[in-house]
Amino acid sequence: MFGSPSLARLAPLLLLPAIGLLLPGYLPQYYLYLGNVIMMYAVLAIGLDLLLGWAGQFAFAHIAFFGIGVYGTALLQIKLKLPFILAMPGAALLAGLIGLLIAIPATRLRAVYLALATFAFAEGAQWVFNAWESMTNGADGLRIPAPSLFGHVMGNDPAAFPLVATLLALVLAATMYLTTSKLGRALCAVRESEHAAAASGVDVRGTKVIAFAISAVYAGIAGGMFTLYESFANPEVFGFAQIVLVLSMIVVGGLGSVPGVLIGTVLLGVLPTVMRTTMRDLLVWQELVYGVILILAMMFMPRGIWGFIRRKRRAVRT
Amino acid sequence: MTLILQALASGVVTGCVYSLIALSLVIVYKSTDVINFAGGEIVMVGGYIGMFALLFLGIPYVLIFVFSALATFALGAAFDRVVLHKVLGRAVPGQSILVAMVIATVGLSYVLKGSARLVPYTEEVRRLPPLFTGEPIFLGSVILQPQDIAIVVIAVAVMLALWCFFAFTLTGKALRATSQNPRAAALVGIPVRTMRMTVWGIASALAAIAGILLAPKLLMTPDMGVIVILAFAAAIIGGFTSLPGCIVGGIVLGVIQNLVGLYVASNAISVAPFIVIMLILALRPQGLLGGRVVAKKV
């Protein structure tokens, strides 16, 4: 569990870029789009899970950092003419830096206050995306230039798919290192008991601030991934509904576990599509169905699907 | 000067409604530790129930407050009994129950919004007629509509009733005991579970009354629940655990909004509550009236 992840555990991740290169030849565009969306959400959800599931900090600001990642990546390319390979890490770092600045006052707050402060920050950021028209083009939306990497022009689903898959693999590998590192253990310690963690020599506030910043970097990377396959960014994408979606992915899948978060991401990422095809005339029902799913998940699977599977497996073994 | 006075007066009027919604959030938080993200949707549902009662049941305007309050009381109590009770019972040690509870209320907000959209009458934007019509009233140079006066009077009456309930009735005292220390309350024989349901019911009824008061001033749509953010801001100004704080916070926020509209820019009105929330939490997390923040003991 602890120490660096073994090569045997990291090796399966190589499958992702391989699949990413192969699939665009075989799948219709729509499935590639769905794949891109789900992989992007996976990065977003894993980033939020580091903060919520691992460090136990209930924060809503994630979607704002995602927005900073999207607008940052696009604007660094448009305004500063940076190539994508510099623009995306630049935007992710910017998200991380803003995350760090927010975290310093925010980590003084606990539970409900932290949730509300970060909620307010997210809503404020969305307002900025709307109001700063000279940069973001406001509510009309910003046209994202097709990014290119070593001459490979993206901006559509088949072309972006391999890179999106590779980025997901890198993020998963980084998460494996992170969660098995000393910092990963410190995060769990802070979640379980701040007093006990402090007594064992963990710098509680520092750990929280770092968790906040790293989580913001993940969201920034997800923002960069978004610009690979989408050609349009609109402030509506960064609203409360989105943060609820990501939150439900984590909670339905299973807090604090990467496999759980991936399961939740796939399920809730595919759900709107399934509903659109099976409930064609019933679009108005979507919100209702979605709410019922959230409530039922909380009532019957408090540890998410992954927790449920693990408990069943343990029950079979004994 | 007239402009400022007018802004202050209309700030107080809207602030009274924010205070009501903030009270509904805070009594739930104080006694059940849940941040109710469905608070705004209960306001919306309360407004619509009032509208339907007026349109289809022919209930007189004054009584739709009672009708809608009773209906939402049942809704809130049922949500606590059926959903939250179960979520609480399934609490996993080592995992914050807050997250599960909050997600459940977010689920409720989607269910309510989704249900409201299914009702044919919500497709068009609607508006309740004002409770009182008539000549505007001049207070010096300030103009107030009769509806504004009605809002303030009803809001204050509801707040007074709430205060009397908490201060003088046995149930009210039991509720306060439960929110201070559920275990000790259970030990002296207070039915804690029923108290939680009652609080959810009362909170929902408060939100519904706010909804009917707002309905003539705002446009009614299934999305009008976003108003809850103003109530959150009001509650935070007041410290999030103080009932008088909520009332002060609501009025302060109403006034701030109007002054921002007057002196800064009209498109800054919508961002003012968020800035207020962040400033208060960064500088004075206990709110204007809240006491020192202490870690809650069991």
- For residue range A286-310, what is the model confidence (pLDDT) as tens digits? 788 888 988 998 888 877 888 888 8
Task: Specify whether A230 is located in the same domain as A95.
Answer: yes
pTM of structure: 0.84
Task: Specify whether A17 is located in the same domain as A79.
Answer: yes
Q: Do A58 and B229 touch (CB under 8 A)?
A: no
Q: Which of A119, A126, A298 should be substituted to probe chain B, the one whose Cβ sees the most B Cβ atoms within 10 Å?
A: A298
> Among candidates A234, A284, A222, A269, which has minimal Cα distance to A47?
A222
Name the domain count of chain B. 1
Q: Residue B137 domain-assigned?
A: yes
Provide the domain limits for residue B147.
Answer: 17-225
Question: Which whole number is the average pLDDT over B129-133?
Answer: 75
Task: Specify whether A71 is located in the same domain as A216.
Answer: yes
CA atoms within 13 A on the CB side of B71: 20
Provide the domain limits for residue A309.
Answer: 239-318
Highest averaged pLDDT of the listed ranges A53-57, A300-304, B40-44: B40-44
Least confident of A154-163, A249-258, A276-285, B229-238: A276-285
ipTM for the predicted complex: 0.85
Nearest residue, CB atoms, A298 vs list B94, B107, B282 = B107
Residues of chain A neighbouring B99 (CB-CB closer than 8 A) = 52, 58, 251, 255
Task: Specify whether A172 is located in the same domain as A275.
Answer: no
B208 close to B40: Cβ distance less than 8 angstroms: no
Q: Residue A176 domain-assigned?
A: yes
Judge whether B240 is closer than 8 Å to chain A, CB to CB. Answer: yes
Q: Give the Cα separation of B131 and B26 in Å (integer).
A: 27
Question: Which whole number is the average pLDDT over B271-278?
Answer: 83
State chain A's mean pLDDT as an integer: 84
Highest averaged pLDDT of the listed ranges A156-165, A179-188, A212-221, A229-238: A212-221
Task: Specify whether A137 is located in the same domain as A282.
Answer: no
Q: How many CB atoms lie within 10 A of CB A160?
A: 31
Whether the predicted pLDDT of B212 surpasses 60: yes
Task: Specify whether A204 is located in the same domain as A267.
Answer: no
Q: Residue A37 domain-assigned?
A: yes
B288 close to B237: Cβ distance less than 8 angstroms: yes
Q: Residue B250 domain-assigned?
A: no
Q: Residue B261 domain-assigned?
A: no
Nearest residue, CB atoms, B96 vs list A58, A117, A303 = A58
The model's confidence at residue B129, banded by pLDDT at 50, 70 and 90, is confident
Q: Domain end: A214, A237, A260, which one?
A: A237
Q: What is the 3-state secondary structure (H, E, C) of chain B?
A: CHHHHHHHHHHHHHHHHHHHHHHHHHHHHHHHCCCCCCHHHHHHHHHHHHHHHHHHCCCCHHHHHHHHHHHHHHHHHHHHHHHHHHHHHCCCCCCCHHHHHHHHHHHHHHHHHHHHHHCHHHCCCECCCCCCCCCCEEECCEEECHHHHHHHHHHHHHHHHHHHHHHHCHHHHHHHHHHHCHHHHHHCCCCHHHHHHHHHHHHHHHHHHHHHHHCCCCCECCCHHHHHHHHHHHHHHCCCCCHHHHHHHHHHHHHHHHHHHHHCCHHHCCCHHHHHHHHHHHHCCCCCCCCCCCCCCC
The model's confidence at residue B292, banded by pLDDT at 50, 70 and 90, is low
Query: For a pLDDT cut of 90, what percent of chain A falls above it?
Result: 19
Q: Residue B105 domain-assigned?
A: yes
Q: How many CB pairs under 8 A join A and B?
A: 141
Whether the predicted pLDDT of B294 surpasses 70: no
Task: Specify whether A218 is located in the same domain as A247.
Answer: no
For residue A94, the model assigns a pLDDT of 94
Q: Residue A2 domain-assigned?
A: no
Task: Specify whether A18 is located in the same domain as A50.
Answer: yes
Q: Name the token pair of A69.
A: 């990642």
Judge whether B107 is closer than 8 Å to chain A, CB to CB. Answer: yes
Task: Specify whether A167 is located in the same domain as A35.
Answer: yes
